[in-house]
Amino acid sequence: MLSNSILKFISSLFILVAISSSIPAFADDVQNEELLKNKAQENDPVSWMKYGEYLYDKSYDTPELRDKYRKEAYSWIRKAADSGLPEAIFSLGYYCIGDKAPLYYYEQAALKGYAPAFVEVLDANLFVAGEDVKKAKEFADLARKMELESKIPRDLNVVDICYQAGTPEKPHDNGMWPGIACDECAEMYDTNSQDYKKCIFERGNNIDIATLYANGQLVKQDFWKAISYVCQGGTTPAELTSMVKILFEATQTGHLKEKFCYCNHASSSQSIAVCASRKNEQSIKHPK
């Protein structure tokens, strides 16, 4: 066995190595900050923005000085934004340090041709939140006009389809996950179909209602109406795109290839987990 003196010597070596390895990293960080700070003294909006973003990120590492660093970060990023730099305008929204809602800054940055801002605007108005299809269409058209399609990872054709479908007469979103209301209302289906339909329209979300119209379940089958509800659904970009394309194809052929079901389009880990849980619950309630 090693003696205590040898063990202490080895331990001290590890401590020295740890300290020495951290010194260059700390020195590099200080040097980087000084470099950014010096660059920010020049008449260069990009340098103003980068120094501001550095200070904002630094605020997470020093909680006791968080307010100080964020105030300084805002002043530098604001200065860059006021000069007209689209990236800086975007950053005011991204870091939530502007005096307006983030979407305002995303829209302003998009108007100046900043591609990442289009993604945020399209998601807020359609692909995620489904707040305003008309505005999503306006920015999709602007993106085409600016020839930015290849830089925006969203299918602009989906925007066109949603715009064509229009807004539902009564869009409804209770914050519940798609399909949960279907499970809760299911007991009514065999006994009173009208109560089931009423339950879905009152307690379901937009995608639950879209499912009824897509499959012609207790309502007249209407693929366009199904699309209009899906476009208000608030899922993920990939899920929305998949559902809209399937339903749009049905408007052209007159039929669905298979029964419409949200879980067939689930792609996010959260959606997949929820759908798997629902499937398991249904198998327990209704064993084969």
Q: How many residues does the chain have?
A: 288
Residues 138, 201, single domain; the answer is: no
Residues 191, 260, single domain; the answer is: yes
Residue 209 lies in a domain: yes
pTM: 0.80
Domains held by the chain: number: 2
d(CA 227, CA 213): 9
Residues 193, 272, single domain; the answer is: yes
Per-residue pLDDT of the chain (288 residues; tens, 9 = 90+): 445 555 454 454 444 444 344 434 434 566 688 888 888 898 899 999 999 999 999 998 888 999 999 999 999 999 999 999 999 999 999 999 999 999 999 999 999 999 999 999 999 999 998 889 999 999 999 999 999 999 999 999 999 999 999 988 766 555 554 555 556 676 665 556 787 788 888 777 888 899 999 999 889 999 999 999 999 877 899 999 999 999 999 999 999 999 999 989 999 888 888 888 777 766 555 565
Residue 63 lies in a domain: no
Non-local (6+) Cβ contacts of 212 within 8 A are 197, 200, 218, 219
The closest of 37, 70, 69 to 51, measured between CA atoms, is 37
d(CA 259, CA 282): 17
Amino acid, res. 216: G
Residues 128, 187, single domain; the answer is: no
Residue 281 is part of which domain span?
180-285
For helices 45-61 and 66-82, the axis angle rounded to 10 degrees is 160
Residues 204, 249, single domain; the answer is: yes
Residues 197, 138, single domain; the answer is: no
Element (DSSP H or E) covering residue 218: none
Residue 22 lies in a domain: no
